[in-house]
Amino acid sequence: MDLIRSEPHSTGDFIALEDRYGASNYKPLDIVLTRGEGVYVWDVEGKRYLDCLSSYSAVNQGHCHPKILAALSEQAAKLAITSRAFRNDQLGLFYEELCALTRSHKVLPMNSGAEAVETALKLCRKWGYEVKGVAPGKAEIIVCSHNFHGRTLAIVGFSTDEGSRAGFGPFAPGFKVVPFGDAQALERAITENTVAFLVEPIQGEAGVIIPPAGYLKKARELCTRHRVILILDEIQTGLGRTGKLLAEEHEGIEADLSLVGKALSGGFYPVSAVLSNKEVMDVLHPGEHGSTFGGNPLACAVARAAIRVLKDEGMIENAAAMGGYLLDRLHDIRSNIVKEIRGRGLMVAVELHPEAGGARRFCEELAGLGVLCKETHGSTLRIMPPLVITRSQIDDAMTAFEKVLSTG
């Protein structure tokens, strides 16, 4: 019978299984990983790679951090999930520690980043109707062009990436799109029905696009003046990635709602959270929003350990220092195919000239040299190693980047 087969062993075996039984919604590099530790991962053939993607910031703390692993194992052996029908002894501690770390009033726990975004959209609409006094059904939320906030139907409805939108309509109304980094466009878009402005402090999926200095501060001023909720999607930028706990700190502002995820669990478990002031969060009442897995004891125990090691082991400070060193090393590379290098902390991108023929082949060449990164939007290499990376490890990676980019 077809169901009886030998166990897969080689890279080709595993890829064949994926191709046969899986949906074709990703185009990964043809490397099958089986183990990780710190900044390194190993494939099923035993080859070691330096991970310069960190699962899109999910493993800021490095792969399989021993303290987070211990918290996972200990909690899994005691109690994994209760649902929110009952209380558990990890949830309140998680709330308290995350609020203390981020200076937040309230936390609403979810699982994925997209769920955190959807939660924020619901919160802002409800606040708009019940507190701001927007007419029923008229609430508007402003977003930015080239945004990436997830893959749910509502979110792709306000995306400007046709690859994300095409074939999935009709979409939910109530969203306005303005150019990213343009405070004047934001001001023009605000009306009496505007309840929120949702923005990434740095656009990650778009290619590590950093807004002009002062943009977020101006956005904060506009939102305060017009009584609009400022939502910062810090799912990629937060928890140390840019050399600060949250990227908002680079401009000395505080959002009304901050969204965190990915590294909130160190990559061990899906955990996300909406961090809110009391005024917005208190519009929710029992039965109006929730998640079976959101705030479960296993998630909370893992997240508590994940944020503890970020702080206690100096990973945020290391991201700032190593990010500067990484940018310096990249700028030292002599290449006629590099259009621009940009970044903040350990969130870095190398954009190539169109004549380079796309970034994917360079990712494949880097993988051959033992370094993993991923292309985005065709012509950009995104470089986001774990925050535990050292100078010597950056030097090793830059040897590969120099070889690939200088001969491109």
Measure the CA–CA gap between 204 and 259, rounded to whole angstroms. Answer: 14
Under DSSP, the state recorded for 211 is P
| Interatomic CA distance for residues 135 and 133, integer angstroms | 6
Q: How far apart are the first and last CA of the chain?
A: 49
Catalytic, out of 126, 218, 244, 262? 262
DSSP state of 140: E
Provide the b/e sequence for 24-37 (b: ≥16 CB within 10 Å).
eeeeeeebbbeebe
For the chain, give the number of residues: 408
Report residue 72 as tokens: 């996972």
CA atoms within 13 A on the CB side of 125: 16
Nearest residue to 331 (alpha-carbon basis) of 348, 353, 319: 348
Q: Which of 43, 51, 126, 148 is catalytic?
A: 148
Q: Pick the catalytic residue: 180, 233, 293, 401?
A: 233
> What six digits make up the tokens of 111?
């699982």
Listed residue (311, 381, 306) closest to 342, CA to CA: 381
Residue with tokens 């033992």, as numbered in its chain: 370
Residue 384: other Cβ atoms inside 10 A: 27
For the CA atoms of 127, 131, 132, 134, the dihedral, rounded to the nearest 10 degrees, stands at 70
Measured between alpha carbons, how far is 31 from 370 in angstroms, rounded to an integer?
11
Has 262 been annotated as catalytic?
yes
What secondary structure does DSSP assign to 386-408, as a single string?
-TT--HHHHHHHHHHHHHHHHT-
- Residues labelled catalytic: 148, 233, 262
